[in-house]
Chains A and B, each alone.
Chain A
Amino acid sequence: MTDTLLSDDMLGSLADRADVPADEVIAALLTELGEDGQAPDPTQRSAAYRHLLGEIWRDDENALAVVSDFLTGGEELDESIDTNQVRHAQEFFEEHGVAIITTLFFASLPEAYLGRRGVQVLDMTGELVSNWTQRIRETGQFLINVLTPSPELARTERTSLAHGESAARAVRRVRLTHSAVRRLGKAPYQPEHGRLFVADFVHPPSLWDVRMARIGEETHEGVTSEPLNQEDLLATLGTFTTVTFEALEKLGVSFDDDDKRAFYHLWNVVGWHLGIGDATTLADSATGKKDSWPDNKIFPLEVQEMDELFNRLRRRLQGPTEQGRRLAATLVQDMSYPLPGPIQGGPAFVIRYLIGDHHADELEIEAGGYAELLIRRTRALERLARRTRTSLLGQLTLLAMGQALTRYALRAFQSPARGKEPGITIEPRIASRWGIQTPPEVDQLLRS
């Protein structure tokens, strides 16, 4: 990493940058739909948001051209995608899928909930439908979609992340959703009754401004950062790379540098499709990156670069918030309730082990009783993890425990939520390899 790549000042300025190309698509879509994107009434703004989502996630012949053209875009990156690396990463996921999903649910998501600004967006969209559980499932589904190879591409030179393919389209759909959420966040703040001190910091405040004020975010001359800005998106990418491998190590999973490099390469491609480092958005910014990918000023980031960058972002962005606690509590509840009573404390214990006591305390993750206290304070699991790869005891305890919890949770997540919303879908071949039974209703759907 060069000394000048994404300095702290530069990272600070990324917080004011959103995503110009995606925002333009959403503006065009709003016009086409006849919706008023600047409606002052929050209810009207919410209705427009739902309408936008309906069009973004429409996957049939009636999809509007402005959306489908964007979803199939990204051809310029194809040359830079290392097919072997992506395949390697997806095979690694197939082999260690349960462990990787364990890290995603028990470490990556909780770390993402520590992002003081980033978590506001997750909370805001969860609040809109009063359903944080569904919000968590959507994140899980996104990760599985991105990391699962497309069987039909197995004998071609393309991967699921090439332009127009399933994973690339899924990522670009999320990018448009981000842009729709930005619009929602800019809606005027209109509480039923006047609130003290709100008027003291910005005029007139938006929903996002008020959230930023509540978490004590600094403003520049009364202007707050952008929702889902470039800095926050970069930090989220770190939770799916750096945090994943830190957690895999704690779980005693075997991996080498090639596995890590391939996995990071895959997420670099995902980051590119998500619009992180987009050259139009960062037109006048000097990031210090040389030899970057087309139309981009940040990628590719090597393993060491990503890890170093994420650790700086951790210091800059992470902290306790009400919204982070709410999502963490929902996550723990969702992972706990499918388990038999005596081990319902398992998910909280594993999260605490993987992200550490300090972060777990910030999210108010349960700390348990005598046994958990003894295991945590004596650091018995860390010692065990160091020997796991070579010891049968480790294989039978640490790894087995984490994976058993994840299998239970995945089975529950596969079932339709609230009887109507879709559960997580996992490709049957991979689900079978992981030892996860597919519920009949999902199985039938996949076969049809």
Chain B
Amino acid sequence: MTFRRSRSATPDAGLVSAGRDSYEAVLVEVPDLETIRAVADLAATNLKDANGNILRGYTMLSQAFGRLLHGDTAPPENATFLTFAAWATETIRPQVVGAVGPKGFRPGDLFRPASRLYTWAADGLLGSDDTIARNLVRGEAAIYEEIAMAVRMMLQCVLEGIDESSRRGSVDWQALWAKYSLRLKEMQTTLNAQRDASEAVEPSDVSVLQRATEPYFSVLSERMSRWDLDHIQRKQRAELILLGNIRMLAYEQKRIQPVLRRNLAYVPDAIRARVGSRVTGRNTLLSRTVGQAYDRSKTTIAILDEVFQIAATRNVYSMIVGTEEIRLGRDLPVPPPANPVLRDRQAPLDQQRYRKGAFFPYDLQTLTHRPTWAEWQLYDRSTSEGARTAVDNWLRYGERLSFLVNLFRSRQQVTSLYDTPRSTPSATPPRPAALGPALEHLSDVTKERLANSFRGSS
């Protein structure tokens, strides 16, 4: 995917007058509906490839969708949910491809002793067990199927609409929305035909998904998908995209909750299974005594389970977003362009978008769009910029969402989010020669990451 200004775009032209030509490549590059649906089957047989396809799918969709929402200019100003989803998929990739586990001493381990201990214990206990990875990939595949299809269908509907409008001279956005809504309804039928009841998509899910995609659609219908917006319109667009991101996030996190529950329970359950089979599984006096003691200590066991969840969240879990590795158990730091120490090394665009020391970019310092403010108030539990965003237990939906919405709002305009995640298989642009214009806007750190990415894939 390359970023270039449309030749046909004029300063007052929007998506409509830009015509279909400048976007014709979009649908060719993003995965089609069949490819998206095939990932679910692949997740049952080949975890590594399924994760790779999801990562590639999110990355390509993110690039295409970003381009659509920002008017075919480089690089898109706001990250969408798909952009963050690509980084989340990148984060879990090492676990899926089996890259975790003891590999000898690394200097970084000195700073993360608890994480090192956990990795050592989990590896020793579970050995080659890939249950957690399987859970993760199957869960993410099911959600990818729903979200990627919803976005792909919006791309298709809008581009078809532009094609028709080039003959009529204007776009009937209401009709486009109705057509898109109908396709969402059909998606429910298509998906449920191949899923069992426990993973079925309910009408209420489709309704939530439709509501989540609506702000993105509003960016298009209100002619804000242009590169020549004034600062007020830029702020409006940023807020609408944030609203879409938060709603998508809430949908995704609700759907993924059972997967998280299974995974966080897996290590304690595995310990219990080992202890159960070795200690209490025999008909000896000692086994019976231990078994009776266990029966009487259900409360203690429940506390220990939760202690494990808290320990894992606080000491082990982290997330890769752009150039940062963010710990989930700590308050969110200010984004790199706002960090006085890192600021000078960031892309000039980022430095323009963030004030030194500020947690949110200029466009999102305040939220003036009422629905965005309402959605933000629903999930934010911080007491000031980034304070009290640390999560105690990743299983708790409310705490998790508070952390994530703050992450989304604070990093929405960081350029490096549109970088290709390092481990994306075949994610280098299809036309490498055309990468030049995009690179001009990237920081040295980002360029270095991309260079590493090319070296890795060659």
Contact = CB atoms under 8 A, between A and B. Distances in A.
Interface of A: 127, 130, 132, 192-197, 322, 325-326, 329-330, 332-333, 336-337, 341, 344-345, 364-370, 373-374, 377
Given A197-B203, A374-B303, A367 B392 contact: yes
Contacts of B381: 329, 332-333, 366
Contact of B185 (A196, A366, A367): A196
Given A197-B207, A326-B377, A329-B380, A130 B370 contact: yes
B304 to A, nearest CB: 10
Contact of B206 (A192, A196, A368): A196
* Interface size bracket, B side: 35 or more
Nearest to B204: A197
Contact of B383 (A192, A195, A337, A367): A337
A226 B121 CA distance: 58
Interface string B281-293: 0000000000000
A367 B396 contact: yes
B370 A193 contact: no
Nearest to A345: B388
B184 interface: yes
B214 interface: yes
6 contacts: A193-B214, A196-B184, A197-B203, A326-B378, A330-B377, A332-B381
A195 B214 CA distance: 9
B399 interface: yes
A196 B303 contact: no
Contacts of A325: 378, 398
Contacts of B185: 196
B210 A196 contact: yes
Contacts of A367: 392-393, 396, 399
A333 B383 CA distance: 6
Interface in B361-379: 370, 373-374, 377-379
Given A329-B379, A329-B398, A332-B381, 15 more contacts: A192-B218, A193-B218, A194-B177, A195-B181, A195-B207, A196-B184, A196-B203, A196-B206, A196-B210, A325-B378, A333-B380, A333-B381, A336-B388, A366-B399, A377-B306
A364 B314 CA distance: 19
B374 A366 contact: no
Contacts of A196: 181, 184-185, 203, 206-207, 210
B45 interface: no
Contacts of B388: 336, 344-345
B100 interface: no
Contacts of B373: 130
A377 B174 contact: no
Nearest to B396: A367
A197 B203 CA distance: 8
Nearest to A334: B383
Contacts of B210: 195-196
Interface string B400-419: 00000000000000000000
Interface string B136-178: 0000000000000000000000000000000000000010011
Q: Pick the most buried of A127, A368, A373, A374: most chain B CB atoms within 10 A of its CB.
A: A373
B377 A373 contact: no
Nearest to A129: B370
Given A329-B380, A333-B381, A127 B374 contact: yes
A377 B310 contact: no
Contacts of A370: 307, 310
B120 interface: no
B310 to A, nearest CB: 6
B301 to A, nearest CB: 11
B397 interface: yes
Nearest to A191: B214
A344 B384 CA distance: 11
A132 to B, nearest CB: 6
A193 B378 contact: no
A229 B365 CA distance: 39
Nearest to B382: A333
Nearest to B311: A370
Contacts of B399: 366-367
A127 B392 CA distance: 30
B217 interface: yes
Q: Pick the most buried of B221, B302, B398: most chain A CB atoms within 10 A of its CB.
A: B398
Contacts of A192: 214, 218
A193 B174 contact: yes
Nearest to B182: A196
Nearest to B188: A196
B387 interface: yes
Nearest to B178: A194
Interface in B186-229: 203-204, 206-207, 210-211, 214, 217-218, 221
B8 interface: no
Nearest to B209: A196
Q: Pick the most buried of A193, A326, A364, A368: most chain B CB atoms within 10 A of its CB.
A: A193
B392 A369 contact: yes
Contacts of B384: 337
B299 interface: yes
A374 B300 CA distance: 10
